[in-house]
Every structure is written in C-alpha cells, then in structure tokens.
Amino acid sequence: MMPERENILTVERLKAFYGKSQILFDVDLSVGKGEIVALIGRNGVGKTTTLMSIMGMVEKRDCRILFEGEDITERKPYQIARMGLTFIPDRGGVFPNLTVEENFALSLREGYFTPDYVFEHFPQVRGLLKRKGGQLSGGERRLVGISRGLLTNPRLLVIDEPSEGLAPAIVREIAGVLSHLKKEGLSMLITDQNLPFIMALADRIYIMDNGQIKVSGSKEELPREVIEKYLAV
Ligand SMILES: Nc1ncnc2c1ncn2[C@@H]1O[C@H](COP(=O)(O)OP(=O)(O)O)[C@@H](O)[C@H]1O
Ligand SMILES: [Mg+2]
C-alpha cells in the first residue's frame, strides 16, 4: 500500500450558513505538507466562505477541521492564527492607514521568514516601506500582503484570490513569488479564477459550484474542459 501523504489541513463535511441560507454543503478538502492546493470556481460559489470557515470567522458552521493533527474546529480566529494558519484576504489584508513598515511590525513573529528575507527575495518591497497601505497599487498591495503573511512565519498560508484584478504581467510576478515560497516548502491553500495562474502553481485542484465540491484531483488528472466549464461565466 502507498503510504498516505501527511496532511497539514483536513476539512470534513463543512456546512456554513449566513442567517437561514446554507452556503456550503459538506465540503471536504485537504492540503498536504508542502502542497499548493487551489479551490476554484465562479464568483459567489462559496470560496471565500470556505476559507473564512477554516479560519473560524464564520459563526454558523458545522464541520470538523484538523490542523497539523489537532482539532481546531472550536478554536477562535486569533488562536487559529497563532498556531501558524495565516489568512491573506482577497484585497491583500494591508491596513490602509498604516505604512508598509508598520503593517509588517504588526505581523512579525520570530522564525525563518524575516524582513531581510523579504527584501532579499522580493526587492521591490523595500522601496514601499514608507508608503501607506492605501497608496499601494493592486499589485503592490498583493505583494505586501503576501510579505506580511510570510512575516507571521506561517505553517500554512491561506490566500483568497491572489491574482484578482491584476494585469497579466503582475499576475506572473505574483505566481513567481508563490512558486518561490513553494520551493521553500511552504504549504498553501489558494482560491482563484485565473486558469493560467492556477495551472502554473497548483498541485491539486478542487472545483466548487453552488457551495459543493464538484470535482477534484491533481492538475494532471483533471481534464482542461472540465475546469474551463466550471470557470466559464
Ligand atoms: N456576509 C454575508 N452574508 C450573507 N451572504 C453572504 C455573505 N458573504 C457571502 N454571502 C453569499 O454567500 C455566497 C458565497 O459567497 P462567497 O463565499 O463570497 O463566494 P466566492 O468567494 O466564491 O465568490 C454568495 O451567494 C454570497 O452572496
Ligand atoms: Mg471570494
């Protein structure tokens, strides 16, 4: 028998509700150590709700969530974050009224990823330090958001739509940053709708529609037409 890959995150039978309406229906997903897993699907299918449920940020939900073998289902968002599960929301999660430097200071936790690491590998960031979060372009905000997440020294980075609204050249740059981090062994769960971006990065893909996982598999085993069908508007 093949040894089972060790999971860093396991989500079982996730149901989520906003008020009386059910948004997610028995979502099962996992992220292996060192993997990049993509959760894809059209606008409104439930991707952000899935990520926020994992982070403990959705009040009405029913599921079981294991992170590094520990049951975190009932933990508070700040406890989950402290365990090294870092969420980067879809606009980057950068405080607009603070400088980039101040944003970094709030996130910094001891570990392998230091400000010097960020400046060395993503040199543009150094030039942005004195700028306010609110003055960054979409691409800069993304880069700063990912850097900020990295400075928490995460065990798992959860990133909501990293390529959304960015020009193709910037999307390639962000893909380069994330594939560099994958080489460092970082595990990631990302949502997105940009097919070339997903194909360049993801090891495994879950396709969501109407709050359910419809198809999943490795990038190689999922037929392109199937992926395109669920992403098409
Ligand atoms: N705070 C909220 N209150 C009520 N309904 C919401 C809320 N956030 C999202 N929804 C609804 O939940 C569904 C899933 O949304 P979301 O998880 O944001 O999808 P996605 O990230 O895939 O675009 C959508 O129908 C959306 O309108
Ligand atoms: Mg979303």
For 4-61, what is each residue's pLDDT tens digit? 679 999 999 999 999 999 999 999 999 999 999 999 999 999 999 999 999 999 999 9
Mean pLDDT to the nearest integer, 137-142: 94
> Is residue 213 a part of any domain in this protein?
yes
4 Cβ neighbours under 8 A, 6+ residues apart: none
Give yes or no for residue 222 having a pLDDT over 60. yes
CA pair distance 66, 175, nearest whole angstrom:
28
> Is residue 233 a part of any domain in this protein?
yes
Give yes or no for residue 3 having a pLDDT over 90. no
> Is residue 93 a part of any domain in this protein?
no
> Is residue 37 a part of any domain in this protein?
yes
Among protein residues, the one whose CA lies closest to atom 24 of ligand 1: 44
> Is residue 172 a part of any domain in this protein?
no
> Is residue 184 a part of any domain in this protein?
no
Which ligand is nearest to the Cα of residue 45, counting in written order?
1
Give yes or no for residue 2 having a pLDDT over 90. no
> Is residue 88 a part of any domain in this protein?
no
Residue 143 class from Cβ within 10 Å (0-12 exposed, 13-18 middle, 19+ buried)?
A: buried
Which residue from 49, 53, 60 has its CB within 8 A of the most atoms of ligand 1, so it is best to mutate?
49
Mean pLDDT to the nearest integer, 101-128: 96
Q: Is the CB of 18 under 6 A from ligand 1?
A: yes
Q: Is the CB of 44 under 6 A from ligand 1?
A: yes
Structure-token pair, residue 64: 């079981």
User: What is the average pLDDT score of the chain?
Assistant: 94
pLDDT in tens, 70-79: 999 999 999 9
> Is residue 15 a part of any domain in this protein?
yes
By residue range, what is the domain housing residue 228? 1-74+189-233
In the chain, the percentage of residues whose pLDDT exceeds 90 is 90
Tally of domains within the chain: 1
Through-space distance between the first and last CA atoms of the chain, rounded to whole angstroms:
42
User: Residue 232: what pLDDT?
Assistant: 82
Q: Which of 168, 187, 120 is nearest to 147 (CA)?
A: 120
Report pTM: 0.95
The CATH number of whichever domain residue 231 belongs to comes to: 3.40.50.300
Among protein residues, the one whose CA lies closest to atom 14 of ligand 1: 46
Mean pLDDT to the nearest integer, 122-137: 96
